[in-house]
A and B are shown apart, each in its own frame.
Chain A
Amino acid sequence: MTIPQPSARVAPASAAGAAPARRPRPDQAPRRPMIECRGLHKYYGDYHALRGIDLTIREGEFFSLLGPSGCGKTTLLRTIAGFEDISSGVVMIDGRDMRNVPANVRPTNMVFQSYAIFPHLTVAENVGFGLRRDPRSRVEKAAAVEEALGMVGLTGFGGRAAHALSGGQRQRVALARALILKPKVLLLDEPLSALDRKMREQMQVELIKLQRQVGITFVLVTHDQEEALVMSDRIAVMFEGEIAQLDGPEALYARPASRKVADFIGVMNFLPARIMSETHDHVTVAAPGLGTVDIPAANVSRVDAGDAGPSIGFRPEAATLLGAGATAAGRVTEGVIDEVVYYGDMTYYDVIMDGTDAYDGIPHEVRISMRNVFGREVPDVGTRTRVSWSPGSLVLFR
């Protein structure tokens, strides 16, 4: 697969919802690869779970495997951990071929989805489980356990019975238990899916901080696109055992490689389009309702099998509803508000755009999100309105 080059960086698009803003880490010299997967295939009987995975995860990176359930992301993670045999291909960790290297000697540790806290041991015994062959003295090991517990905010919990912990505390114990061994790679299998929303958002920030603090390569498996966008340096989007796109969060959000990726990550409006002409740096398309537009070559993606021809896509926040008398910065299309969904900080408007029925006879509806500003009127359903949009924010799926 080809990785779109981040040539003209679009301003970082904020992910839907109240996710904490992600600060890009300072650009360092190209880091060396920590995990390399080459031509990875995995069969369960007749079922082809991994279909040729090629992937390089760099040292110190917060990397996410994102996809719907059954896409093979957990299988890939377990393959890296050594819990699954691969049918063909190579997995290298820190330059070493992992063939015939069992899970217990791989330089990886895992935070399991169920946390897998040993119920017969105390918190401290759980955290110190992997230190059995550590040559340090008892006292030094106990200090290391206490330090690891401090790192995840569980100072003084060592003596507690494991079964008396809450979900969030279990997760912290699982983290401390893995990090105390100072692995080269920490693997996280949907670690936040069992937590409630508030706790999840808090843990997302804590995980980012923790990863910066310890500098270990993190590989996170998640089906939650928001979680992946918030936490990751780079994300591999997986469908049906293949990587559909591998990119940074901003690029993934602003320039999805295919309709499927665009649909999976956030909300994307699609309008039918026709390609008029093409040059080396842009494609000219005609889209009913939008008119003739030049799309920069960087914003051209592909369609997936089964799609009905090319289409133009844009994110809900890429267009603006214009109030009465306001002047437009970009181009303008008129329409009728069909639905208003109020979210507190945001309002979603579904607008039927004028002229969008020209190709297929169906008037197309687009979703537009507007931040609610004090004093701005929320228009009612049925109101005629003007939608302002700019050609630079459009993506062509061809």
Chain B
Amino acid sequence: MATAQGAGAGQGLRLIAPPLLYAILMLAIPLLTILAYSFFRDDYLTVVREFTLDNYRAVWADPIFRAILLRSLAVAGLVTLTTVLLAFPVAYFLSFVVPPQRKALWLLLITIPFWTSYLIRVFLWKVILGYNGVVNSGLKSLGVIDQPLQFLLYNTGSIVMTLSHAYAPFAILPIYVALEKIDRSLLEAGRDLGESRAMTFWRVTLPLAMPGVVAAVLIVFIPTIGDYVTPTVIGGGKIPMVANMIQAQMLDIDNKPLGSAIAISSMAVVTALSLLFLLLNRRFLRVRA
């Protein structure tokens, strides 16, 4: 018995060895390096390898860091809210309205944005929203406006719009999967027990879809808070987020220990918020038989 188990475990280990090795090399080691750097001291051109907490003190004492972190959280929160609120009806439609034989086609259509690079999609939004972009020239040729609208680009709204579009499939798919798993007779039971369609949705469908919603929230929130491209391109550099600040410290100012401390600090904040969110939703995430 023990040998059989040992053989099974050995086989499992061999199977996951390549991705495990890759993860250690490309994820764990860089992360640990950043963690180590955040405790080193910067000496203008070199990094002095002696333990210090000065970086963290500097980061948390800096009002700019706090402002940018708060802005990043606000933008990511807004993006998450928009994305999940827009994704839910799409996922619901996909699960409850689309006939089974068409679902594969619809899923394919939803993943179409992934067929082009993220960077190109962000630039396309700039083309759409820009000074001489699609929206402005369209409205001008229709005679609705004389002068191009200036508020379309380079603000928080445009960042939220771009990121929400980019992350939509990531939100639609987990919610769709959760909705697909709901036994349809449960919805009939809700109606049978005297509830309207709306109340059945509220008391049965939504709670059962929550694991998907929670997954969608985390999948959208965590990467968008660290997004670097969209604030640069769509925000025009005027609305830096925390990733832009890290980039500036790491490359422009060349203060790697301080940049690392900012990175670790924002990671800690995101981790804490995610855990809090999971805790708040724990009753929806109980294991189901």
List, in ascending order, chain A residues with CB within 8 A of B183's CB.
Answer: 114, 116
Query: Known interface pairs A118-B204, A119-B208. Does A105 touch B185 (Cβ–Cβ under 8 Å)?
Result: no
Is B189's beta carbon under 8 Å from chain A? yes
Is B45's beta carbon under 8 Å from chain A? no
List, in ascending order, chain B residues with CB within 8 A of A89's CB.
Answer: none
Considering the complex, give the chain B residue whose CB is closest to the CB of A103.
Answer: B191
Count of chain A residues with a beta carbon within 8 Å of a chain B beta carbon: 26
Q: Report the tally of A-B residue pairs with Cβ distances under 8 A.
A: 67
Is A163's beta carbon under 8 Å from chain B? yes
Residues A109 and B289 in contact, CB atoms below 8 Å apart: no
CA distance A118 to B283 in the complex (A): 14
The residue among A102, A114, A116, A132 with the most chain B CB atoms within 10 A of its own CB is A116
Residues B185 and A114 in contact, CB atoms below 8 Å apart: yes
Query: Known interface pairs A116-B185, A118-B186. Does A164 touch B192 (Cβ–Cβ under 8 Å)?
Result: no
Residues A120 and B284 in contact, CB atoms below 8 Å apart: yes
Is B286's beta carbon under 8 Å from chain A? yes
Count of chain B residues with a beta carbon within 8 Å of a chain A beta carbon: 23
CA distance A132 to B195 in the complex (A): 9
Residues A109 and B191 in contact, CB atoms below 8 Å apart: no
Is A110's beta carbon under 8 Å from chain B? yes
CA distance A130 to B191 in the complex (A): 9
Considering the complex, give the chain B residue whose CB is closest to the CB of A163.
Answer: B289
Residues A105 and B189 in contact, CB atoms below 8 Å apart: no
Residues A104 and B194 in contact, CB atoms below 8 Å apart: yes
In chain B, positions 149-208 with a C-beta closer than 8 Å to chain A are 183, 185-186, 188-196, 199, 203-204, 207-208
Q: How far is the CB of B225 from chain A (nearest CB, A)?
A: 30
Is A142's beta carbon under 8 Å from chain B? no
Considering the complex, give the chain B residue whose CB is closest to the CB of A114.
Answer: B185
Q: How far is the CB of B188 from chain A (nearest CB, A)?
A: 6
Residues A163 and B188 in contact, CB atoms below 8 Å apart: no
Residues B191 and A102 in contact, CB atoms below 8 Å apart: yes
Considering the complex, give the chain B residue whose CB is closest to the CB of A106.
Answer: B192
Per-residue interface assignment for chain A, residues 170 to 194, with 1 indicating a CB less than 8 Å from any chain B CB and 0 otherwise:
0000000110010000000000000
Q: How far is the CB of A2 from chain B (nearest CB, A)?
A: 35
CA distance A120 to B284 in the complex (A): 7
CA distance A103 to B191 in the complex (A): 6
List, in ascending order, chain B residues with CB within 8 A of A342's CB.
Answer: none
CA distance A60 to B21 in the complex (A): 70
CA distance A113 to B184 in the complex (A): 12
Q: How far is the CB of B198 from chain A (nearest CB, A)?
A: 11
Query: Known interface pairs A129-B193, A181-B193. Does A103 touch B188 (Cβ–Cβ under 8 Å)?
Result: yes
In chain A, positions 102-146 with a C-beta closer than 8 Å to chain B are 102-105, 108-110, 112-114, 116, 118-120, 129-130, 132-133
Contact of B289 among A103, A119, A130, A133 (CB under 8 A): A119
CA distance A136 to B192 in the complex (A): 20
Residues A112 and B208 in contact, CB atoms below 8 Å apart: no
Is A83's beta carbon under 8 Å from chain B? yes
Q: How far is the CB of A169 from chain B (nearest CB, A)?
A: 12
Per-residue interface assignment for chain A, residues 237 to 279, with 1 indicating a CB less than 8 Å from any chain B CB and 0 otherwise:
0000000000000000000000000000000000000000000
Is B288's beta carbon under 8 Å from chain A? yes
Residues B189 and A118 in contact, CB atoms below 8 Å apart: yes
Q: How far is the CB of A165 from chain B (nearest CB, A)?
A: 9
Residues B194 and A110 in contact, CB atoms below 8 Å apart: no
Considering the complex, give the chain B residue whose CB is closest to the CB of A133.
Answer: B194
List, in ascending order, chain A residues with CB within 8 A of B186's CB.
Answer: 116, 118-119
Is A161's beta carbon under 8 Å from chain B? yes
CA distance A83 to B195 in the complex (A): 13
CA distance A103 to B188 in the complex (A): 9
Question: Which residues of B come within 8 Å of A, CB atoms?
Answer: 183, 185-186, 188-196, 199, 203-204, 207-208, 283-284, 286-289
Extra A-B contacts (20), CB below 8 Å, given A116-B185, A132-B199, A164-B289 = A103-B191, A103-B192, A104-B191, A104-B193, A104-B194, A113-B185, A114-B183, A116-B188, A116-B189, A120-B207, A120-B283, A120-B286, A120-B288, A129-B193, A129-B203, A130-B194, A161-B286, A177-B193, A178-B193, A181-B193
Query: Can you name 25 A-B pairs with beta carbons within 8 Å?
Result: A81-B192, A83-B191, A103-B192, A104-B192, A104-B193, A104-B194, A104-B195, A104-B196, A110-B188, A110-B192, A113-B185, A114-B185, A116-B183, A116-B186, A116-B189, A119-B289, A120-B207, A120-B208, A120-B286, A129-B190, A129-B203, A130-B195, A133-B194, A161-B286, A164-B289
Closest 7 CB pairs of A and B: A130-B193, A163-B289, A116-B189, A116-B185, A103-B191, A104-B191, A120-B207
